[in-house]
Amino acid sequence: MDLAGQVALVTGGASGLGLASTAALINRGATVFVADLPTAGRGAITDLGAHFLAANVLDEEQLAAALDAAGEAGPLRGVVHTAGRGGDRLRILDRERNPAPLDAFADMVRTNLFGTYNVLRLCAARMAGNDELPEGSRGAFVLTASVAAFDGQVGQTSYTASKAAVHGITLVAARDLASWGIRVNTIAPGLFDTPMLARLRDDIREGLAQSVPYPRRLGSPAEYGRLAVELLENDYLNGETIRLDGSIRMAPR
């Protein structure tokens, strides 16, 4: 799929990996709509020439309204879903043997997994109505998991559960949507230099960077954006989760 002149949606595009994906898509000549929380900063998005749509990915009405607005510009061809949140760091049992709260687990899964499924189903319903492009495609998705899907650390049960599920549904989604000419792939990022990691102390971030075999640094969001564009454009890539991680395998803690 050639993205030039096509409409793309980036969820969570106001920050980090989503913002970099927005920039990469604009560079390919796409018209980009960003769906993010109403509280998210919009300056960087509008500076790039993208359009901001306030929508919580868990809210069907808000997402539908965002898709209606994006649809005015043309058929939706590409979705990069990066809206999500980081880990709780809650062990199953605390030091006093108390079980971790179920609500915290449910909240994480709701945002990262239900949010992904909501975006997938509502956007796919729009894409399936598109005319086929010359190569037969109607559109493509990029979802976002994490290396925690495969090597989650101590205290990451909720985050790992949510991200492993995103990896798990990738192939099923590709199979479900194959007859519509819609592809689905997932990126499992390692450690990226985004506001999510900026919340950590400098020495902790430096330690994380040093734990990456090569390149020995945090990933740049632009590197995520490049891969997201490739996954949308490469018509033979489907049903795959790609680790983008400098070959890191996370230690137990």
Helices (H), the chain: 16-27, 43-48, 60-71, 102-109, 115-127, 148-151, 157-177, 195-198, 202-210, 221-233
Q: For residues 44 and 15, give the distance between their C-alpha atoms in angstroms, rounded to a whole number.
A: 8
Q: For residues 121 and 19, give the distance between their C-alpha atoms in angstroms, rounded to a whole number.
A: 23
Which lies closer to ligand NAD via its Cβ, residue 105 or residue 192?
192
Residue 210: how many other CB atoms lie within 10 Å: 9
Q: What is the smallest separation between the CB atom of 89 and ligand NAD, expressed in angstroms?
A: 14
List of residues contacting ligand NAD (CB under 6 A): 11-12, 14-18, 36-37, 40, 56-58, 82-86, 111, 115, 144, 146, 189, 191-192, 194-197
Q: What is the smallest separation between the CB atom of 135 and ligand NAD, expressed in angstroms?
A: 29
Which lies closer to ligand NAD via its Cβ, residue 3 or residue 34?
34
Q: For residues 190 and 184, give the distance between their C-alpha atoms in angstroms, rounded to a whole number.
A: 20
Q: What is the smallest separation between the CB atom of 246 and ligand NAD, expressed in angstroms?
A: 11
Q: What is the smallest separation between the CB atom of 143 and ligand NAD, expressed in angstroms?
A: 9
Contact predicate 209/218, CB 8 Å = yes
Which lies closer to ligand NAD via its Cβ, residue 105 or residue 137?
105
Record the tokens describing residue 2, joined without a space: 């050639």
Output phi, psi for 171, to 5 deg.
-70, -40
Collapsed DSSP state (helix, strand, coil) of residue 120 = helix
Active site annotation includes 159: yes
Which lies closer to ligand NAD via its Cβ, residue 57 or residue 165?
57
Closest to 245 in 3D by CA, of 216, 205, 204:
216
159, 214, 224, 236: which is the annotated catalytic residue? 159
Which lies closer to ligand NAD via its Cβ, residue 17 or residue 232?
17
Q: What is the smallest separation between the CB atom of 228 and ligand NAD, expressed in angstroms?
A: 11
Q: Which residues are catalytic?
A: 159
